Amino acid sequence: MKKEILKEIIKRNSLKEDFAVLTNLSTGNSEIFNSKNLLSKEFKNYENKINNFYNLKKNGIIDGTQIFILNYIKPVEVIIVGAVHIAQYLIDLLKNFNFIVTIIDPRKYFTTEQRFQKVKIINEWPKNALEKIETNTNFALITLTHDPKIDDPALSYALKNKFFYIGALGSKKTHENRCKRLKEAGFGEKEIRSIHGPIGIKFGGKSTPEIALSIVAQLVSETNKLLLNSKN
């Protein structure tokens, strides 16, 4: 593989882009491909098969060819609002999966380096912080503070920007009051029902680690649905 291709792989991977590397096993030639790229003459005749493997995020030798495809998939980005105790357990679990995590909390005394290491932290109110992040529908939001001044603006932003997963910590009563506020803010019933609240898969856990596990399990489940839908 040429040095230029390796440099481009490193660059695109660092930028967390979706792309694939095509290699002709007969000639040893490689090139980078995504849905916006035009294929060279060497690969053009297999365009439909390449697109099929790319869209399905499949790796391996493409049927009936000598072309090997290796997909690099952009990680799902998770925004956690609230640097509370449960956030530490969430991060410990999420680091085992292909997620990029950002914590937003205006309260600097919660976001010490001792509590949160190697995680991007934004010490601003969610409304201001989220406007500085280039988000899309592949983002997930988890709110943890129970404080409407902090959680509600983040939930409103995620609903307006159609995050694929939105979850909010709190009791049933807390969530009912949350839904009332969002309805008063102009959101429809369907939008409000898209919020996972109370957050997490229900398996009876009560401790902080168990609640964190239930949240991550729900997030992974919804992420797999997202990836499956993107293939169809």
Tell me: the pLDDT tens digits for 94-108? 988 889 999 999 999
Angle between the N-to-C axes of helices 148-160 and 172-184, in degrees from 0 to 180, rounded to the nearest 10: 60
Q: Which amino acid is at 91?
A: I
pLDDT of residue 56: 78
Q: In terms of domains, do 43 and 56 share one? A: yes
Q: In terms of domains, do 33 and 139 share one? A: no
Q: Provide mean pLDDT across the span 130-156.
A: 94
pLDDT at residue 232 is higher than 60: no
Q: In terms of domains, do 162 and 50 share one? A: no
Task: Examine the fold and report which residue of 21, 47, 72 is the final residue of a domain before the chain moves on.
Answer: 72
**Predicted confidence band at 113 (pLDDT cuts at 50, 70, 90)?**
confident
Q: In terms of domains, do 19 and 104 share one? A: no
Domain residues for the domain of 22 are: 3-72
Q: Provide mean pLDDT across the span 1-11.
A: 83
More confident residue, 82 or 2: 82
Q: In terms of domains, do 108 and 62 share one? A: no
- Strand spans (E) along the chain: 19-24, 30-33, 60-61, 67-72, 76-81, 99-104, 120-122, 139-143, 165-168
Q: In terms of domains, do 82 and 150 share one? A: yes
Tokens of 14: 């660092």
Alpha carbons 21 and 170: distance in angstroms, whole number: 44
Chain centre to alpha carbon of residue 191:
19
Alpha carbons 132 and 229: distance in angstroms, whole number: 28
Q: In terms of domains, do 45 and 62 share one? A: yes
How much of the chain, in percent, has pLDDT values that exceed 70?
97
Q: In terms of domains, do 124 and 181 share one? A: yes
Q: In terms of domains, do 63 and 172 share one? A: no
Domain count, the chain: 2
Tokens of 58: 């499949």
**Predicted confidence band at 17 (pLDDT cuts at 50, 70, 90)?**
confident
Alpha carbons 146 and 36: distance in angstroms, whole number: 42
pLDDT of residue 160: 96
Q: Provide mean pLDDT across the span 38-44.
A: 90
CATH number for position 214: 3.40.50.720
Q: How many residues are present in the chain?
A: 232
Query: What average pLDDT does the structure give for the chain?
Result: 90
Q: Does the N-terminal peptide bond of residue 198 adopt cis geometry, omega within 30 degrees of 0?
A: yes
Q: In terms of domains, do 122 and 197 share one? A: yes
Paired sense of beta strands 76-81 and 99-104, if any: parallel
Alpha carbons 80 and 158: distance in angstroms, whole number: 12
